Structure 1
Amino acid sequence: MRSLPEMPAMSDRVLVTGGTGKTGRLVAEQLAVRGVDARTATRHPASADQVRFDWDDATTHGLALDGVTSVYLVAPTDRTEQLPVMRPFLDQAVARVPGRLVLLSASSLAEGGPMMGEVHAWLHAHAPRWTVLRPSWFMQNFTTQHLPSIINEGCIYSATRDGRVPFIDAADIAAVAVEALTNPTLASDDHVLTGPEALTYDEVAKAITEASGRPVRHCRLSVEELAARYAGFGIPHHYASLLAGIDEAIANGAEDRTTMEVRQITGRAGNDLANFLASQRASLVGV
């Protein structure tokens, strides 16, 4: 795809939605290192570099976009249909933002598919400059949602059977996002982002055991058992079934591939799981 012409020089100000999340926080930090003004969008701003923003409150959208040259888009996670609530903001962003709209989606969600796939298709149809990041599963999942069962039960629960996943470090996703947000010559496109190796959950459990010194195993569940486990955490049944179905797709090989997108866009190799786990040893041993 042909690169777009460079835009006139201007002072960069990037609005980072989801700015306190796994990737948004890192995007803001990496932008600041580059000397770019990163404005974090949050419901409860607590500092000068934050602005009040709520997907459900259109009165917050205009002020958040003032002076913004690019936007990092993290869809709301409390629903399975993101486009209807994002559309009012996206309409304003396309009209007011001269640079790129960068959407965080997922490798499992193709353009036009459910959830962020619908937002992906909308951006392709309406935004002059856009990038959709489609990362595989985050390495950080093992130091967040999986961490309680790792520490308390020595288990990682999944319905992936022997399916492989090319887990990616959120810092590498953020590095690609920053490049997309600040490089006007990058062509509009979507990018499937992965780590350097695809691993089974059995192999991940072994790697965590080696990194932490505590025995950890992969506790295999059926899709139905996993959906019930999610529902037990308070996740709505429809969404719990959708999430468990993603594990079934992994079991059938949907995530068994690696790409070179991180290296091609950032100029450096992505982090591997062993290095990531070594850096997180204190969390994994419960210190």
Structure 2
Amino acid sequence: MSRTLVIGANGTVGSELVRLLRAAGHNVLKATSRPVTDPATEVHLNLLTRAGLDTALQGVSKVFMLSPPGHTNQDELLNPVVDAAKANGVQKIVLMTAMGANADDNAPLRKAELHLQNSGLAYNIIRPNWFMQNFNTFWIQGILEHGKIFLPVGAAKGSFIDARDISAVAARLLSTDDFNQRDFDLTGGVAMDHDAVAAILSRVTGQTITYQDIPEGDMRGALLQAGLPPAYAEFLLMILGFFKLGYSERTTDAVQTLLGRPPITLEQYAADYRSAWVKA
């Protein structure tokens, strides 16, 4: 049986992708930089040092990969995976980057995309918009402590996507060759500003949650205080700046095309994750 390697298997998208692939009968190997606990289903792989790269790819026919968070040199981390995959006989790679990554050919994520496109391998590239799950992870502290979503994005709108839809799309693309050599920008079905998001979270949780626009400097301080590397903090501020300029408002029909159903709504996401925001 062919084997699928999932790089980023412990993350929000990767963990659900592993579940979906295994439920569909795929033989899945999880790449992890942590100590391996089950050699039958896991393999050690450190993208920063490339330790374990060739071993991880042995006997693998398909790969899902993304760049680990906290790093801005995504091409330097991902391009060696593409080269090693080709050398080890991998047939197809599905790469997840981010919506807007293809706007600048000199950007590290775009360099990774181009390297894959020029590799001769079968591929798909998926570029999701901002995750709905950010509201129950990265932005949750302000919600729990102050009842506020603190972000420096003004009244700009985003077509937020549920990470479960991203996983489902990746699973679909790893299960068929019908869409090979194509890239897809993945969005939710509607665009809304953060006041609208806060209103939905308030209605679902029964709590008062509001949005507060903050200066970029305040966001920088919060990111650095949270322990993010300065370069990555500046990267996040840059893409939040693009959000503020309106670049995250666009919607696409990619989820409908690939999954045959509409994207998960923010209302459904909020209901499913309600316990994250409801105080004990």
- Output aligned runs, 1:46-125, within 5 Å: 46-47=37-38, 48-110=40-102, 112-125=105-118
**Cα distance change of structure 1 residues 241 and 13 upon mapping to structure 2, 3 Å threshold:** same
Distance 1:98 1:55 in 2: 18
Distance 1:113 1:26 in 2: 31
The equivalent position to 1:182 in structure 2, one of 151, 172, 175, is 175
The equivalent position to 1:28 in structure 2, one of 8, 18, 26, is 18
User: What TM-score do the two structures reach when normalised by structure 2?
Assistant: 0.94
**Cα distance change of structure 1 residues 128 and 153 upon mapping to structure 2, 3 Å threshold:** same
Q: Cα deviations across residues 53-106 of structure 1 (Å, max 9, x unaligned)?
A: 111333401111111110000212232112223333221102224421111100
Match of 2:185 in 1: 192
Contact kept, 8 Å, 1:161 with 1:220, in 2: the verdict is yes
Runs of 5+ in structure 1 lacking a partner?
Answer: 1-10
1:18 corresponds to which letter in structure 2? G
1:151 corresponds to which letter in structure 2? L
Distance 2:49 2:160 in 1: 34
Distance 2:74 2:50 in 1: 15
Runs of 5+ in structure 2 lacking a partner?
Answer: none
Distance 1:124 1:277 in 2: 36
Distance 2:266 2:277 in 1: 13
- Output aligned runs, 1:205-220, within 5 Å: 205-220=198-213
- 2:107 partner SS: coil
- Asked whether 1:17 is paired with 2:10, we answer no
Q: Tell me by how many angstroms 1:190 deviates.
A: 1.3
Q: Tell me by how many angstroms 1:118 deviates.
A: 1.5
Match of 1:41 in 2: 31
Contact kept, 8 Å, 2:82 with 2:119, in 1: the verdict is no
Q: Tell me by how many angstroms 1:272 deviates.
A: 0.4
Q: Tell me by how many angstroms 1:113 deviates.
A: 4.4
The answer to which of 216-225 and 64-73 deviates more is 216-225
- 1:71 partner SS: strand
- Percent identical across equivalent pairs? 27
Contact kept, 8 Å, 1:169 with 1:276, in 2: the verdict is yes
- 1:126 partner SS: coil
Distance 2:112 2:229 in 1: 22
Report the number of matched residues.
Answer: 277
Distance 2:13 2:211 in 1: 26
What RMSD in Å do the two structures reach over aligned CA positions?
1.5
1:153 corresponds to which letter in structure 2? H
Contact kept, 8 Å, 2:67 with 2:77, in 1: the verdict is no
Distance 1:252 1:159 in 2: 11
User: What TM-score do the two structures reach when normalised by structure 1?
Assistant: 0.92
Contact kept, 8 Å, 1:52 with 1:60, in 2: the verdict is yes
The answer to which of 213-222 and 226-235 deviates more is 226-235
The equivalent position to 2:272 in structure 1, one of 276, 279, 282, is 279
Contact kept, 8 Å, 2:8 with 2:31, in 1: the verdict is yes
- 1:58 partner SS: coil
- Asked whether 1:142 is paired with 2:135, we answer yes
- 1:173 partner SS: helix
1:184 corresponds to which letter in structure 2? D
**Cα distance change of structure 1 residues 127 and 27 upon mapping to structure 2, 3 Å threshold:** farther
Q: Cα deviations across residues 21-66 of structure 1 (Å, max 9, x unaligned)?
A: 0100011100011100111100222223111111133340111111
- Asked whether 1:133 is paired with 2:126, we answer yes
Distance 2:242 2:79 in 1: 29
Q: Cα deviations across residues 195-233 of structure 1 (Å, max 9, x unaligned)?
A: 111110111111111111111111111223222221222
1:54 corresponds to which letter in structure 2? N
**Hey, which bits of structure 1, 4+ residues long, moved more than 6 A?**
none
Distance 2:50 2:228 in 1: 26
Distance 1:149 1:168 in 2: 21
